[in-house]
Structure 1
Amino acid sequence: MVPRRRRRRPWHRTRAYRLVRTAALVTVLVTVGAHCQGRGAPSGADGAQDAPVAEGPPPAPLPRSPATTLRVPSLGIDAPLVGVRLGPDRQLETPPLDKPEVAGWYQDGPTPGERGTAVAVGHRDTSSGPAVFSALALVHPGGRIEARRVDGRTAVYTVDKVRVFDKANFPDKEVYGPSRRPELRLLTCGGLYSRRTGYTSNVVVFAHLTATR
């Protein structure tokens, strides 16, 4: 990517994109403004793999209930979730930089297990080192993601694919487009890092609901 004169990019990208709140296609245009500081490479996973998931009939979507914890067992992630919203500048807020182990759930979108495209964000790293989603790109299709809820229920998602998109050509519709079933996107920064422009890409994990408990 050709460098251009501009202020440092947010970790996600600089142009507007869509986040879907419900299957009714209620959308808002936002720009994510998390800041990946870029110290060191992502830490590796612990080598554990999820057992193959035998899918039966799709589970019924869950009613609305806020998210509390996000788990990705194959990566050793067991992270508290905080709600994030759009700030006055129309940027999506992000987890606090001084709490790199925390992930954020877009609380004006679907909650875990609810119908539609839910979104969770986390830092790849901060000035103190690797953060909650440092190894996100290493998750495999078929892997399991669990999102616990305030009502005590857990939404279990199965990973469909992992993609790395250049910020300049980020596919809004593919990532944030409406879905008739409960789906999940996990996002963090990726690609090459420059102190002047930040990361060049974004890692996006695509998953869909396969169980509830």
Structure 2
Amino acid sequence: MPSVKKPSTRRAQPSPYSYRISAVLVTIVVVVISSIVLTSYAQARRIPDNAGGPSAPTVTRIPSLGLSVPTSPIVEQGAVLDPPADPQRAGWWASGALPGSKEGSVVITAHKLHGGGGAFDTLAKVKRGALVTVDTQAGVQNYEVVSIANYDRDEFAEKADDLFRTDDTPRLVLITCYDWNGDDWNGNTVVIARSSA
């Protein structure tokens, strides 16, 4: 029987050039992925341009919280501004500024329910820089959150004139209840957002 030569078990050494090519390819992939991520982040952080002029709101949205709340006009009763009876709706203070106005506070309020189910249950969790979009009868008005604060009843009363002002810089003021004591709420959460205009 003819002899059979045993195959060599020695592995071929990779070329130093293959290491360089691999390193270059990995670097390119990392750069491309990083660029896509950073571009997406920048676009997500940019507050979109407004569309349409001053008009009554129909829906209030906070994408970062997953909120999309139907919004309708409400009128204060004396010194009290009550949200709509439906806890899943928000109310826009009809005596204040229209979304898209060049001055004044656009005030929108909604319920927070201690057992859950209120339109603004999670409002206090919004972060500075978050987008708030108000759909209106004329288009869309966009705002960027600049402050989140909790006030007890006395503090809220002291700040009411400023929060409900109808002149000066245009802004959005979102209001809900804060600090359930077992029988009632002790104060209010107030989120202020500036217009992207």
With structure 2 as the length reference, what TM-score do the two structures score? 0.68
Listed as ranges, the gaps of 5+ residues in structure 1 are: 1-49
Listed as ranges, the gaps of 5+ residues in structure 2 are: 1-42
Identify which of 77, 91, 94 aligns with 2:80.
91
Q: CA RMSD in A?
A: 2.5
Which whole-Å CA distance do the structure 2 matches of 1:205 and 1:92 have between them? 16
- Per-residue CA deviations over 1:45-88 (Å, capped at 9, x if unaligned) read xxxxx932379xxx79964311111100001110111110023x
Seen in structure 2, the aligned counterparts of structure 1 residues 179 and 53 have a Cα distance that, compared at 3 Å, is: farther
Identify which of 108, 116, 125 aligns with 2:113.
125
What amino acid sits opposite 1:80 in the alignment?
P
Seen in structure 2, the aligned counterparts of structure 1 residues 76 and 61 have a Cα distance that, compared at 3 Å, is: closer
Partner of 1:147: 134
With structure 1 as the length reference, what TM-score do the two structures score? 0.64
Q: Does residue 208 in structure 1 map to residue 190 in structure 2?
A: no
Q: Counting strand residues as a fraction of each chain, which structure ranks higher?
A: 1
Shift in Å at residue 200 of structure 1?
1.0
Q: Counting helix residues as a fraction of each chain, which structure ranks higher?
A: 2
What amino acid sits opposite 1:142 in the alignment?
G
Aligned pairs for 1:127-206 (under 5 A) are 129-151=116-138, 153-170=139-156, 171-177=159-165, 179-195=167-183, 198-206=184-192
Identify which of 45, 53, 78 aligns with 2:46.
53
What amino acid sits opposite 1:119 in the alignment?
V
**Higher relative contact order, structure no. (Cα contacts within 8 Å, ≥ 6 residues apart):** 1
Shift in Å at residue 105 of structure 1?
0.5
What amino acid sits opposite 1:86 in the alignment?
E
Q: Confirm or deny: 8 A CA contact 1:85 1:107 kept in the other structure.
A: yes
Seen in structure 2, the aligned counterparts of structure 1 residues 179 and 158 have a Cα distance that, compared at 3 Å, is: farther
